[in-house]
Amino acid sequence: MVSAILDKWTWIVILSIVLVLVVPLIVVWTVLQMAPEFRVVATISIIVLWGIFSGYKDWVIAKRKEEENASPQA
């Protein structure tokens, strides 16, 4: 049990879970605290950035699959 608590990866997983839960709440709270004009700009910016990052992720996955199919298997 002690080795699991002292393990580096355990703390990385715990920190990742906490960040996944807390960061969206902070972002939403920050956006809600803004003036209405800035709130609209922030919301649109989040949606646009989300689309850019998801498109990039899909491009990277497609590129990786393309490279795997192009390279000869030994």
Count up the domains in the chain and report the number.
2
Residues 39 and 66 in one domain: yes
Question: Taking all residues of the chain, what is their mean pLDDT, rounded to a whole number?
Answer: 91
Q: Do 29 and 61 belong together in one domain?
A: no
Residues 52 and 26 in one domain: no
Could you tell me if 39 and 73 lie in one domain?
yes
Together in a domain, 44 and 18: no
State the residue range of the domain holding 8: 1-33
Taking the C-alpha atoms of residue 5 and residue 72, their distance in angstroms, rounded to an integer, is 44
Confidence of residue 58 (pLDDT cuts 50, 70, 90): very high
Statement to judge: residues 44 and 10 lie in one domain: no
Average pLDDT over residues 49-69: 95
List the one residue out of 21, 24, 1, 25 whose CA is nearest residue 10: 1
Q: What is the mean pLDDT of residues 66-70?
A: 89
CB 28 within 8 A of CB 22: no
Residues 39 and 69 in one domain: yes
DSSP 72: P
More confident position, 41 or 7? 41
Q: What is the model's pTM?
A: 0.66
